[in-house]
């Protein structure tokens, strides 16, 4: 049974790493779930409770960054409510349209929402680009958090 639990923990972590890149999967929470399961399997001896708490903090940070960064970038660029809503709709639509949709639908959604609000194509493009840049920053930070979590997990197993 222990072997099955370890395989599950490792699979959760591997799927979590993929999810750090693919927005359709909750990467950081999956990694945390795998680490928590691994710590539980070993009665928190090899992976300490302190390590699990650090991982929980990293996971919360990764989740918050994922949801807040694009909105912050859009707001800093002066996005209207419609622009932010358009970015959210574009992000959801992007999940169903493949890799290129994931990359560009949030930009298109923000730009369309902003154009509807202000009828200004230049402003709409600026807001769309700012939202897209925010998503790229969020993805980069989330990936860094995911790899940090995996690194801490591996280090705790080796020490």
At 31 the pLDDT is 96
Alpha-carbon span 90 to 43, nearest angstrom:
44
Alpha-carbon span 130 to 133, nearest angstrom:
5
Region for 79 from its dihedrals, namely left if φ exceeds 0, alpha if ψ lies in -120 to 50, beta otherwise: beta
In angstroms, how far is CA 20 from the centroid of its own chain? Answer: 6
Q: What is the pLDDT of residues 81-126, one digit of tens each?
A: 888 888 878 877 877 777 777 778 888 888 898 899 888 888 888 8
**Cα distances (angstroms) measured from residue 74 to each of 22, 26, 137, 151:** 21, 23, 12, 32
Decide: helix, strand or coil at residue 61. helix
Residue ranges, the chain, pLDDT below 70: 23-24
- As given in the structure block, the two tokens for residue 34 are 């795998």
**Beta-sheet strands, E only, within 26-159:** none
At 123 the pLDDT is 86
pTM for the whole thing? 0.78
At 23 the pLDDT is 66
């Amino acid at each position: 049974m222990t072997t099955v639990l370890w395989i599950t923990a490792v699979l959760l972590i591997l799927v979590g790493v993929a999810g750090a890149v693919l927005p359709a999967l909750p990467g950081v929470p999956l990694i945390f779930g795998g680490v928590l399961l691994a710590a539980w399997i070993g009665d928190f001896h090899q992976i300490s409770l302190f390590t699990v708490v650090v991982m929980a903090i990293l996971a919360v940070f990764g989740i918050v960054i994922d949801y807040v960064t694009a909105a912050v970038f859009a707001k800093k660029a002066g996005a209207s409510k419609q622009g932010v809503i358009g970015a959210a709709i574009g992000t959801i639509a992007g999940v169903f349209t493949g890799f290129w949709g994931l990359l560009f639908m949030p930009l298109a959604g923000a730009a369309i929402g902003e154009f509807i609000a202000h009828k200004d194509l230049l402003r709409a493009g600026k807001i769309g680009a700012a939202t897209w840049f925010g998503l790229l920053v969020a993805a980069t930070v989330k990936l860094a958090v995911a790899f940090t979590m995996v690194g801490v997990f591996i280090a705790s197993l080796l020490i």
